[in-house]
Every structure is written in structure tokens, then in C-alpha cells.
Amino acid sequence: MRLLLLNPNTNAAMTERVLSAAWRLAPPGMELQATTARFGAEVIASRAGYAIAGHAALDAYAASGKDCDAILLACFGDPGLAALREIAHCPVVGMAEAACFQAAHGKRRFSIITGGARWPAMLREYVQTLGLGSQLASVRALAADGAGIMADPAAAQAAILHAAKAAGIEDGAEAIVLGGAAMAGMVNGLATQIAIPVIDGLSAAMLAASYAAQTAAAGLIALEPTATHGLSPALAGLLAKGSAKP
């Protein structure tokens, strides 16, 4: 199985961090490749950055996604996820979608720990679209955004631990989701210090991608041919061709 890790921001160091963490999680026989958005924000921390990242994700898939068996959208907010599912030839999974469904299993209430002041409102809205709003106990934001978390992971881990404990005690959370690509791989340093399950978005998404690849085109959406202007040649070509899926 060939899995494409698609980072829809322009931070190549974050792509490498996610790829490194993914290799540690990959089962035997899984091949990994990664790509970084060609344009957009270095860190997605606003609705504007999120909207641009959706376009950037489609553009990155058009350039790099031809030979993969599944795509993992390596940004916790899942920008462009539904659109990728229209245009991609293979299954697409998102970190936020996979992690939230895993956290909510068994009707658990869960909290998301994320980085960046504008993400809580955006993530609450997104969880509502997944049909899990009634199970979301809280979204707690760290002062540091994704770049800040990468710059000082020890300080970030301490802040995540504090927020996660507070979410369990004060918000009634029965599971914690680490909500950010920059947090990939941090679960090992936190799980033994928190009394409730801690879910890594990358790990959840990789499990979902493995299952999705085995079920082939299940859930993929057909796209009618579309005329466009001003897009990259690769993306314009895909949209002009459309897709015929079961």
C-alpha cells in the first residue's frame, strides 16, 4: 500500500515531522511519500488560511497523487477533505475526522487540545458537521501555534498535559484528541500521565487510511468535467477530465 501524506500548509519542516512520525507507525508493507503545499500559509491558523489550504491541497494532489493507494490529509482541520474526495482516484482520510470518530467511539465525550487561538471555534463547527457535536466536551487552545509547538516541543508537551488534565476534570472529557500535525508522535509522552485515553490524530488517520485502501473506492464521489481558469495545469487537467467512480 502506498500512502501519500499531504500537508496543505507550506511548512516543509512540518511535513518532515509528520513523515518521520508516520514511519514509526507504519505497518509492514506500507510505503510512505509526502508532499507540501506549493502555496498558502506556513501555519494554518485562521479561516483565510484554511480556505487557501483547501485549494492548495487539491493542487498538491494534482501534482503528486497519481501513484498512491490512499491519501492522508495531514492537517488537523481537514481543509479540502470533501473536495479531495471528489477529485481523487483513491480514498482520502483526514486527521480530524479520523481522530474525532475514534475518540467518540462508545459514546464517549472528548476534548480536543489544539494550537492557535482561532482554532477552537473552527473545530467546534467542524465537529458539528461530523455529527459529533453532542459528544464534544471542549476545545482547549494552547498559546503556541503549530510552528511554536515544533520550536519548543518540551514546553508544548507540558502545556498539552496541563490542558488535557483540565479537560478531564473540568469539562468531563472521557478521551483527549491531540489536534495538530505538529503534535504527531507526542502521545507516547502523555498517555501514561493522563487517566483517560489520548488519541494522536496521525495514528488514527493512518489506521483509517489502511482500512480505506483495502475497501478501494468505497465512498468516493464522482465529479463532472469542469472548465476552469488560472489554475495550475495539473489541477486544471484533472478538473477538465472529471472522474467516474462507483
Residue found by looking up cell 513523515 in the block: 19
Amino acid 220: pLDDT: 59
Q: What is the helix (H) or strand (E) element at residue 32, kind and residue range?
A: strand 31-36
Amino acid 99: pLDDT: 97
Q: Is 48 left (phi over 0), alpha (psi -120 to 50) or beta?
A: alpha
Amino acid 22: pLDDT: 95
Q: Are 16 and 181 in contact (CB under 8 A)?
A: no
Residue found by looking up cell 508532499 in the block: 35
Amino acid 57: pLDDT: 98
Q: Are 212 and 91 in contact (CB under 8 A)?
A: yes
Q: Encode the chain (246 residues) as per-residue pLDDT tens digits.
A: 999 999 999 999 999 999 999 999 999 999 999 999 999 999 998 999 999 999 999 999 999 998 999 999 999 999 999 999 989 989 999 999 999 999 999 999 999 999 988 999 999 999 999 999 999 999 999 988 888 999 998 999 999 999 999 999 999 999 999 998 999 888 887 878 998 999 999 999 999 998 888 776 545 567 788 899 999 999 999 999 886 554
Amino acid 119: pLDDT: 94
Q: Are 87 and 58 in contact (CB under 8 A)?
A: yes
Amino acid 207: pLDDT: 94
Could you give the CA distance from residue 109 to residue 106 in angstroms, rounded to a whole number? 9
Amino acid 108: pLDDT: 98
Could you give the CA distance from residue 50 to residue 44 in angstroms, rounded to a whole number? 6
Amino acid 242: pLDDT: 81
